[in-house]
A = this chain, B = another copy of it.
Protein backbone atom coordinates (compact mmCIF):
# COMPACT_ATOMS: atom_id res chain seq x y z
CA UNK A 1 0.00 0.00 0.00
CA UNK A 2 1.24 3.44 -0.90
CA UNK A 3 0.80 6.49 1.27
CA UNK A 4 -2.87 7.33 1.58
CA UNK A 5 -2.21 10.78 0.14
CA UNK A 6 -1.48 9.30 -3.25
CA UNK A 7 -5.06 8.02 -3.50
CA UNK A 8 -6.37 11.51 -2.80
CA UNK A 9 -4.07 12.97 -5.44
CA UNK A 10 -5.40 10.64 -8.10
CA UNK A 11 -8.97 11.83 -7.53
CA UNK A 12 -7.84 15.42 -8.00
CA UNK A 13 -5.92 14.45 -11.15
CA UNK A 14 -8.61 12.31 -12.73
CA UNK A 15 -11.73 14.34 -11.76
CA UNK A 16 -13.89 11.23 -12.10
CA UNK A 17 -17.48 11.81 -13.20
CA UNK A 18 -19.78 10.26 -10.57
CA UNK A 19 -23.46 9.50 -11.17
CA UNK A 20 -25.39 9.83 -7.92
CA UNK A 21 -28.82 8.35 -7.28
CA UNK A 22 -29.21 9.72 -3.83
CA UNK A 23 -31.77 11.04 -1.40
CA UNK A 24 -33.18 14.53 -1.84
CA UNK A 25 -32.37 15.53 1.73
CA UNK A 26 -28.60 15.68 1.48
CA UNK A 27 -28.03 15.70 -2.27
CA UNK A 28 -26.63 19.24 -2.31
CA UNK A 29 -23.95 18.34 0.20
CA UNK A 30 -23.10 15.17 -1.71
CA UNK A 31 -22.57 17.24 -4.86
CA UNK A 32 -20.45 19.85 -3.09
CA UNK A 33 -18.36 17.32 -1.19
CA UNK A 34 -17.61 15.34 -4.35
CA UNK A 35 -16.41 18.53 -6.00
CA UNK A 36 -14.42 19.29 -2.84
CA UNK A 37 -12.85 15.83 -3.08
CA UNK A 38 -11.79 16.43 -6.68
CA UNK A 39 -14.58 14.56 -8.45
CA UNK A 40 -17.36 15.76 -10.73
CA UNK A 41 -20.92 14.86 -9.67
CA UNK A 42 -24.00 14.40 -11.79
CA UNK A 43 -27.43 13.53 -10.39
CA UNK A 44 -30.31 11.98 -12.28
CA UNK A 45 -32.77 9.40 -11.00
CA UNK A 46 -36.11 10.16 -12.58
CA UNK A 47 -36.45 9.74 -16.33
CA UNK A 48 -35.33 6.18 -17.14
CA UNK A 49 -33.79 7.00 -20.52
CA UNK A 50 -31.75 9.76 -18.99
CA UNK A 51 -30.61 7.53 -16.10
CA UNK A 52 -29.58 4.76 -18.46
CA UNK A 53 -27.60 7.04 -20.75
CA UNK A 54 -25.96 9.02 -17.97
CA UNK A 55 -24.75 5.92 -16.17
CA UNK A 56 -22.88 4.92 -19.32
CA UNK A 57 -20.81 8.12 -19.22
CA UNK A 58 -19.44 7.90 -15.69
CA UNK A 59 -16.55 6.36 -13.78
CA UNK A 60 -18.60 5.69 -10.68
CA UNK A 61 -22.19 5.15 -9.62
CA UNK A 62 -23.32 5.99 -6.09
CA UNK A 63 -26.69 4.52 -5.10
CA UNK A 64 -28.14 5.76 -1.82
CA UNK A 65 -31.68 4.62 -1.01
CA UNK A 66 -32.40 7.30 1.58
CA UNK A 67 -35.64 8.57 0.01
CA UNK A 68 -36.94 5.81 -2.25
CA UNK A 69 -39.76 6.42 -4.73
CA UNK A 70 -42.25 3.97 -6.21
CA UNK A 71 -40.09 3.40 -9.28
CA UNK A 72 -36.81 3.34 -7.42
CA UNK A 73 -35.94 -0.30 -8.00
CA UNK A 74 -36.34 0.10 -11.76
CA UNK A 75 -34.25 3.27 -11.76
CA UNK A 76 -31.48 1.78 -9.63
CA UNK A 77 -31.32 -1.38 -11.73
CA UNK A 78 -31.17 0.60 -14.98
CA UNK A 79 -28.30 2.71 -13.70
CA UNK A 80 -26.53 -0.27 -12.19
CA UNK A 81 -26.69 -2.24 -15.43
CA UNK A 82 -25.47 0.69 -17.52
CA UNK A 83 -22.60 1.39 -15.15
CA UNK A 84 -21.63 -2.28 -14.92
CA UNK A 85 -21.42 -2.52 -18.73
CA UNK A 86 -18.71 0.11 -18.86
CA UNK A 87 -16.83 -1.15 -15.82
CA UNK A 88 -17.63 1.82 -13.61
CA UNK A 89 -17.36 1.24 -9.87
CA UNK A 90 -20.70 0.90 -8.08
CA UNK A 91 -21.31 1.75 -4.43
CA UNK A 92 -24.48 1.05 -2.43
CA UNK A 93 -25.46 2.95 0.71
CA UNK A 94 -28.41 0.95 2.11
CA UNK A 95 -29.84 3.82 4.17
CA UNK A 96 -32.42 2.53 6.63
CA UNK A 97 -32.02 -1.15 5.73
CA UNK A 98 -33.51 -2.97 8.70
CA UNK A 99 -35.84 -0.08 9.54
CA UNK A 100 -38.46 -0.93 6.92
CA UNK A 101 -39.01 -4.10 4.92
CA UNK A 102 -38.99 -2.07 1.72
CA UNK A 103 -35.46 -0.80 2.29
CA UNK A 104 -34.14 -4.19 3.41
CA UNK A 105 -35.56 -5.88 0.33
CA UNK A 106 -34.45 -3.22 -2.15
CA UNK A 107 -30.94 -3.29 -0.73
CA UNK A 108 -30.78 -7.07 -0.92
CA UNK A 109 -31.93 -7.06 -4.54
CA UNK A 110 -29.20 -4.61 -5.45
CA UNK A 111 -26.67 -6.69 -3.54
CA UNK A 112 -27.78 -9.91 -5.22
CA UNK A 113 -27.02 -8.51 -8.68
CA UNK A 114 -23.42 -9.29 -7.84
CA UNK A 115 -22.37 -6.05 -9.49
CA UNK A 116 -21.54 -3.91 -6.47
CA UNK A 117 -17.98 -2.75 -5.91
CA UNK A 118 -18.59 -1.65 -2.34
CA UNK A 119 -21.27 -1.27 0.30
CA UNK A 120 -21.14 1.46 2.92
CA UNK A 121 -23.49 1.72 5.86
CA UNK A 122 -23.61 1.92 9.61
CA UNK A 123 -23.16 -1.37 11.35
CA UNK A 124 -26.88 -2.04 11.80
CA UNK A 125 -27.63 -1.37 8.13
CA UNK A 126 -24.78 -3.69 7.15
CA UNK A 127 -26.19 -6.33 9.47
CA UNK A 128 -29.66 -5.96 8.00
CA UNK A 129 -28.31 -6.18 4.47
CA UNK A 130 -26.03 -9.20 4.74
CA UNK A 131 -27.46 -11.05 7.70
CA UNK A 132 -30.68 -12.44 8.92
CA UNK A 133 -32.39 -14.51 6.21
CA UNK A 134 -35.66 -15.73 7.70
CA UNK A 135 -35.45 -12.95 10.25
CA UNK A 136 -38.21 -10.37 9.84
CA UNK A 137 -36.11 -7.52 11.08
CA UNK A 138 -33.35 -8.62 8.79
CA UNK A 139 -30.75 -7.60 11.32
CA UNK A 140 -27.82 -9.84 12.07
CA UNK A 141 -27.96 -9.99 15.86
CA UNK A 142 -24.18 -10.09 16.15
CA UNK A 143 -23.95 -6.86 14.19
CA UNK A 144 -26.80 -5.09 15.89
CA UNK A 145 -24.53 -3.38 18.38
CA UNK A 146 -21.86 -0.82 17.78
CA UNK A 147 -18.26 -1.72 17.13
CA UNK A 148 -15.87 -1.22 20.04
CA UNK A 149 -12.40 -2.39 20.97
CA UNK A 150 -13.65 -5.64 22.53
CA UNK A 151 -15.65 -6.96 19.59
CA UNK A 152 -13.83 -5.34 16.70
CA UNK A 153 -11.92 -8.37 15.47
CA UNK A 154 -14.95 -10.58 15.69
CA UNK A 155 -17.06 -8.08 13.73
CA UNK A 156 -14.29 -7.59 11.18
CA UNK A 157 -14.10 -11.34 10.59
CA UNK A 158 -17.82 -11.55 10.03
CA UNK A 159 -17.74 -8.63 7.58
CA UNK A 160 -14.85 -10.26 5.74
CA UNK A 161 -16.93 -13.38 5.27
CA UNK A 162 -19.70 -11.29 3.70
CA UNK A 163 -17.15 -9.42 1.58
CA UNK A 164 -15.77 -12.72 0.32
CA UNK A 165 -19.23 -14.09 -0.42
CA UNK A 166 -20.15 -11.10 -2.59
CA UNK A 167 -16.66 -10.16 -3.76
CA UNK A 168 -16.84 -6.55 -2.64
CA UNK A 169 -15.56 -4.02 -0.15
CA UNK A 170 -17.54 -3.27 2.99
CA UNK A 171 -17.27 0.01 4.86
CA UNK A 172 -19.10 -0.16 8.19
CA UNK A 173 -19.21 3.17 9.99
CA UNK A 174 -19.51 3.97 13.68
CA UNK A 175 -17.33 5.28 16.49
CA UNK A 176 -14.73 3.02 14.93
CA UNK A 177 -15.03 2.49 11.18
CA UNK A 178 -14.21 -0.85 9.59
CA UNK A 179 -13.03 -1.21 5.98
CA UNK A 180 -12.71 -4.79 4.79
CA UNK A 181 -12.50 -7.03 1.78
CA UNK A 182 -12.05 -10.78 1.71
CA UNK A 183 -8.36 -10.55 2.53
CA UNK A 184 -7.73 -7.48 4.65
CA UNK A 185 -9.40 -5.45 7.38
CA UNK A 186 -8.66 -1.95 8.63
CA UNK A 187 -10.03 -0.02 11.58
CA UNK A 188 -10.17 3.78 11.35
CA UNK A 189 -10.16 6.00 14.43
CA UNK A 190 -10.51 9.37 12.71
CA UNK A 191 -13.75 11.32 12.92
CA UNK A 192 -15.97 12.98 15.51
CA UNK A 193 -19.43 12.38 16.98
CA UNK A 194 -20.39 15.77 15.47
CA UNK A 195 -20.66 13.94 12.15
CA UNK A 196 -23.87 12.39 13.45
CA UNK A 197 -25.18 15.77 14.61
CA UNK A 198 -25.80 16.80 11.02
CA UNK A 199 -27.80 15.26 8.25
CA UNK A 200 -25.79 13.82 5.42
CA UNK A 201 -22.37 12.85 6.77
CA UNK A 202 -22.96 9.23 5.80
CA UNK A 203 -24.28 10.23 2.38
CA UNK A 204 -21.26 12.46 1.82
CA UNK A 205 -18.91 9.63 2.71
CA UNK A 206 -20.61 7.38 0.15
CA UNK A 207 -20.05 10.00 -2.53
CA UNK A 208 -16.41 10.41 -1.53
CA UNK A 209 -15.92 6.66 -1.41
CA UNK A 210 -17.30 6.29 -4.94
CA UNK A 211 -14.97 9.04 -6.14
CA UNK A 212 -11.91 7.47 -4.54
CA UNK A 213 -12.69 4.00 -5.88
CA UNK A 214 -13.31 5.37 -9.37
CA UNK A 215 -9.91 7.06 -9.45
CA UNK A 216 -8.00 4.17 -7.89
CA UNK A 217 -9.25 0.99 -9.50
CA UNK A 218 -5.92 -0.77 -9.10
CA UNK A 219 -5.98 -0.66 -5.30
CA UNK A 220 -9.50 -0.12 -4.14
CA UNK A 221 -9.27 -1.27 -0.54
CA UNK A 222 -6.52 1.26 0.17
CA UNK A 223 -8.52 3.90 -1.68
CA UNK A 224 -11.53 3.15 0.54
CA UNK A 225 -9.29 3.44 3.59
CA UNK A 226 -7.97 6.78 2.34
CA UNK A 227 -11.53 8.05 1.77
CA UNK A 228 -12.66 7.14 5.28
CA UNK A 229 -9.57 8.59 6.98
CA UNK A 230 -9.76 11.76 4.88
CA UNK A 231 -13.39 12.41 5.76
CA UNK A 232 -12.74 11.68 9.43
CA UNK A 233 -9.85 14.16 9.51
CA UNK A 234 -12.03 16.77 7.82
CA UNK A 235 -14.60 16.18 10.56
CA UNK A 236 -12.05 16.65 13.32
CA UNK A 237 -10.87 19.93 11.82
CA UNK A 238 -14.43 21.13 11.23
CA UNK A 239 -15.27 20.45 14.86
CA UNK A 240 -12.28 22.51 16.01
CA UNK A 241 -13.48 25.42 13.89
CA UNK A 242 -17.03 25.10 15.17
CA UNK A 243 -15.86 25.21 18.77
CA UNK A 244 -13.37 28.02 18.10
CA UNK A 245 -16.07 30.19 16.49
CA UNK A 246 -18.81 29.12 18.94
CA UNK A 247 -21.03 27.82 16.15
CA UNK A 248 -23.48 24.90 15.80
CA UNK A 249 -24.27 22.03 13.50
CA UNK A 250 -25.15 24.02 10.34
CA UNK A 251 -21.76 25.74 10.40
CA UNK A 252 -20.11 22.40 11.18
CA UNK A 253 -21.67 20.98 8.03
CA UNK A 254 -20.19 23.76 5.91
CA UNK A 255 -16.79 23.54 7.60
CA UNK A 256 -16.80 19.79 6.98
CA UNK A 257 -17.14 20.24 3.22
CA UNK A 258 -14.64 23.11 3.32
CA UNK A 259 -12.09 20.87 5.01
CA UNK A 260 -12.52 18.21 2.35
CA UNK A 261 -11.89 20.94 -0.19
CA UNK A 262 -8.77 22.08 1.68
CA UNK A 263 -7.41 18.58 2.29
CA UNK A 264 -4.19 17.58 0.57
CA UNK A 265 -2.07 14.45 0.47
CA UNK A 266 0.31 15.60 3.17
CA UNK A 267 -2.43 16.53 5.62
CA UNK A 268 -4.09 13.19 5.04
CA UNK A 269 -0.91 11.23 5.65
CA UNK A 270 0.00 13.26 8.72
CA UNK A 271 -3.35 12.74 10.39
CA UNK A 272 -4.62 9.34 9.26
CA UNK A 273 -5.29 7.17 12.30
CA UNK A 274 -5.90 3.56 11.34
CA UNK A 275 -4.58 0.08 11.91
CA UNK A 276 -4.74 -3.23 10.14
CA UNK A 277 -6.69 -5.86 12.06
Interfacial residues, chain A to chain B (CB-CB below 8 A): 23-29, 31-32, 35-36, 41-50, 53-54, 57, 66-72, 96, 99-103, 197-200, 246-251, 253-262
Contacts of A23 in B (CB 8 A): 43
The listed residue with most B CB atoms (<10 A of its CB), out of A44, A57, A96, A254, is A44
The listed residue with most B CB atoms (<10 A of its CB), out of A101, A102, A253, is A102
Contacts of A247 in B (CB 8 A): 255, 258, 262
The listed residue with most B CB atoms (<10 A of its CB), out of A25, A54, A68, is A25
Given contacts A32-B199, A71-B70, contact A53 B101 (CB under 8 A): yes
Nearest-Cβ distance from residue A220 to partner chain B, whole angstroms: 26
A71 to B200, CA, bound (A): 26
Given contacts A50-B100, A53-B100, contact A254 B250 (CB under 8 A): yes
Nearest-Cβ distance from residue A34 to partner chain B, whole angstroms: 9
A11 to B100, CA, bound (A): 24
Nearest-Cβ distance from residue A191 to partner chain B, whole angstroms: 17
Q: Which residue of B lies closest to A22 (CB)?
A: B25
Are B47 and A70 in contact, CB atoms less than 8 angstroms apart?
yes
User: What are 23 A-to-B residue pairs whose CB atoms are below 8 Å?
Assistant: A24-B27, A25-B43, A28-B28, A28-B29, A28-B200, A32-B199, A42-B99, A44-B67, A46-B68, A47-B70, A48-B70, A49-B100, A49-B101, A50-B102, A53-B101, A53-B102, A54-B96, A57-B100, A247-B258, A248-B261, A250-B255, A250-B256, A251-B258
A45 to B255, CA, bound (A): 30
A197 to B32, CA, bound (A): 8
Beyond known contacts A47-B102, A248-B261, A250-B257: 5 more, CB 8 A cutoff: A26-B31, A35-B199, A42-B99, A44-B96, A246-B262
Going nearest first, the 3 A-B pairs with the smallest beta carbon separation are A248-B261, A248-B258, A46-B69
Contacts of A69 in B (CB 8 A): 46-47
User: CB < 8 Å: which of B66, B198, B262 contacts A248?
Assistant: B262
A236 to B45, CA, bound (A): 33
Nearest-Cβ distance from residue A22 to partner chain B, whole angstroms: 9
A270 to B91, CA, bound (A): 49
Q: Which residue of B lies closest to A261 (CB)?
A: B248
Nearest-Cβ distance from residue A184 to partner chain B, whole angstroms: 32
A29 to B199, CA, bound (A): 9
Contacts of A68 in B (CB 8 A): 44, 46-47, 50
Given contacts A27-B24, A46-B72, A71-B70, contact A54 B262 (CB under 8 A): no
Contacts of A255 in B (CB 8 A): 247, 250-251
Contacts of A25 in B (CB 8 A): 27-28, 31, 43
